[in-house]
Structure 1
């Protein structure tokens, strides 16, 4: 039985290209996720398709606001970088500082987040400290940071099976402590523990706990469906996959919200190999019925809208490729040229790693001229067209270059 190591943050590959086009000043977007890390399972991606999963590494909690004084930040950094201290000694020193600042939420969270960079050998001591501190934490942010630190004690080893990983030294204690916290009467503690356990625990047990948490209001519908969507490809039984997809459809989310979650799931490295054909058909139906929308203003080049379209188009074409074998670039080229497709769909794909093969596909299918006519709608739009004109010029250059290049 598989499991999911943690949840994953995924944005569309349009983001990198949009930065290059000047739509964003740099690669930062919003706050870091609460618990990003590498998915345990991996597998080959379909031919010609590049997953859009962003792996945020081992730092499993969002950084606190910089409410701490500079001297404290320097002191913490000095402890973390001290080569003569082992992990347990660093943990002990940081915990003592935390105890002195436990009533100062910004500083307390910063300290707890910093502790996740180290992996002490005495996990039992760390867990004991966290469990003792939780009942006395007065701020919800500190409670969540304590749960995140608890979850960070889980040891990952991709070279062993999921069941064996759960039995690595210290891991049973971590999971048991998270189960205990998930049953807390404190909403903030229970909420964070349920989500963290879902990202570490065995799939079937996690699904049961998620169902209970949804029923008693510990997590909301969006969180429930989001967690299920990441577990979905790790379930071996096609019948149970279909059952969970029906649960997701009936959970009360809008079609757009559900489609966005499933588009993200499809681009996980292990998704296409783990989902049964019947599940892929169901997900494709949901995606087809809920395409992303752009703003009414044609000159609105919202990078997140471009990313959503890219993620949706990438997932839809990846599923079709998995079921029929049709090349992903050809599928994307056809998708952006549908009669009712927004011209910004071409922009989204042109700003992605699939740009070159899609431009080639449009040229080979004799669609380059039609694509440029669609893009020229920007030139006739009312308002400041400087950014749009620059993007169109770039895409025009790519298509023209392809058109002038002799076929091999």
Structure 2
């Protein structure tokens, strides 16, 4: 089964989705912490300066840093570097990179240093990208260090929301970063390719994105659940309606539990650009899949888990946003209606009041004259957790939020 894609003004390409392989046994879900690249400002200061002597005298020596100082000592050391106003971001990177090289086979320290470098606001250079790539392949690293190096590499990709993905792909050294990530995604070392595949699918949409994703599934670098999640993030970037339909079919018929794929698709729908990029037929099918896989709270009302609240809030926000997009109604009106339905689980209301939509929903409830009813619904929930001080406080705070006079 082939999917035809259109990326910006690029000619349409065809790519085998590999749907048949999705029915095979899944490998276990692997740890992953992908990051999104951020818009970086131009730094023109030199890469080194006399400030180096200052750092070397005020920060802990490498001996104390790597011979038992612990993570607190390491954090103190890196904070001194990153908070020094006399140093440019490039200089901070150079000092932290030197520490990384001295860390040797101390994976926790190495990962911490790499993660710290990833947060520096600097523009990528060819030299820095090559330095990261050399470190990735030139030494033997633990898995967590390999993944941190890939994350640092991906963070060199410059993004700008004012530009299209095609325009972004041409910025600065972005072509080099993308090519280096694509190479890493094809690495026979699955500890490298796993993270590189996920980072590559997150920075943009390229002609080889789907082939790389398919190959990673076939060779076991990523699991079926990871495959469907990343394919979901690509859905709004696929322009042709039939291609979107086939990709969504691959997700919903992958063999991954519906609750997991629904959670991933809800996240996709809530992305700022998703509703305007997904075709109406695609939205209808996502809406159907979400409706068939509504998050379920535990039977006992006294069981209140924060992750359950977040999962339900995202699900309801997504399904309401789709309905509003298709029918022209209001997302907030739909959310308020669902949580106040007779027999609705009060934890659903609690989830919404704890979400970013809280102010808009409580304003709608006030306009409908349902403020007291909503507070009473939560009061009944508080009776189920008489000995849980933290949860009782959370419920009281939710009642207070509902009772506030709309601004």
Q: TM-score, normalised by structure 1?
A: 0.75
Q: Work out which of the residue numbers 306, 311, 324 in structure 2 matches 1:308.
A: 311
Q: Which residue of 1 aligns with 2:35?
A: 35
Q: Which residue of 2 aligns with 1:25?
A: none
**Structure 2 residue 192 is matched with structure 1 residue 189:** yes
Shift of residue 154 of structure 1? 1.6
Q: Work out which of the residue numbers 261, 286, 311 in structure 1 matches 2:289.
A: 286
Shift of residue 372 of structure 1? 5.8
Shift of residue 209 of structure 1? 1.2
SS at the partner of 2:284?
A: helix
Change (3 A) 1:325 1:121: closer
Moved more, 242-251 or 157-166: 157-166
Query: What RMSD, in angstroms, separates the aligned Cα atoms of the two structures?
Result: 3.3
Change (3 A) 1:264 1:120: closer
Q: Write the distance in 2 (CA, Å) between the matches of 1:100 and 1:205.
A: 37
Q: Write the distance in 1 (CA, Å) between the matches of 2:158 and 2:130.
A: 17
Q: Write the distance in 1 (CA, Å) between the matches of 2:304 and 2:184.
A: 44
Q: Which residue of 2 aligns with 1:177?
A: 180
Change (3 A) 1:290 1:77: same
1:223-242 → structure 2 map (5 Å cutoff): 223-242=226-245
Q: Write the distance in 2 (CA, Å) between the matches of 1:394 and 1:89.
A: 46
SS at the partner of 1:199?
A: helix
Q: Which residue of 2 aligns with 1:150?
A: 153
1:118-137 → structure 2 map (5 Å cutoff): 118=120, 123-135=125-137, 136-137=139-140
Shift of residue 145 of structure 1? 1.3
Q: Write the distance in 1 (CA, Å) between the matches of 2:75 and 2:377.
A: 53
Deviations 1:280-312 (A, max 9, x none): 111110111111111222122222211111111
Asked whether the equivalents of residues 87 and 118 of structure 1 are also in contact (C-alpha less than 8 Å), the reply is: yes
User: What number of residue pairs does the alignment pair up?
Assistant: 351
Q: Which residue of 2 aligns with 1:115?
A: 117
Asked whether the equivalents of residues 299 and 385 of structure 1 are also in contact (C-alpha less than 8 Å), the reply is: no
Change (3 A) 1:316 1:148: same
Q: Write the distance in 2 (CA, Å) between the matches of 1:326 and 1:122.
A: 44
Change (3 A) 1:363 1:91: closer
Change (3 A) 1:327 1:38: farther
**Structure 2 residue 163 is matched with structure 1 residue 160:** yes
Q: Which residue of 2 aligns with 1:76?
A: 78
**Structure 2 residue 248 is matched with structure 1 residue 245:** yes
Q: Write the distance in 2 (CA, Å) between the matches of 1:265 and 1:253.
A: 17
Highest RCO, 1 vs 2 (Cα 8 Å, sep ≥ 6): 1
Q: Which residue of 1 aligns with 2:44?
A: none
1:16-35 → structure 2 map (5 Å cutoff): 33-35=33-35
Q: Write the distance in 2 (CA, Å) between the matches of 1:170 and 1:382.
A: 56
Asked whether the equivalents of residues 197 and 206 of structure 1 are also in contact (C-alpha less than 8 Å), the reply is: yes
Structure 2 gaps, min length 5: 1-6, 10-30, 40-67
Moved more, 129-138 or 146-155: 129-138
Q: Write the distance in 2 (CA, Å) between the matches of 1:400 and 1:170.
A: 52
Deviations 1:160-217 (A, max 9, x none): 3322322222222111111211121111111111111111242443222111111111
Q: Write the distance in 2 (CA, Å) between the matches of 1:250 and 1:329.
A: 31
Q: Work out which of the residue numbers 378, 381, 388 in structure 1 matches 2:381.
A: 378
Q: TM-score, normalised by structure 2?
A: 0.75
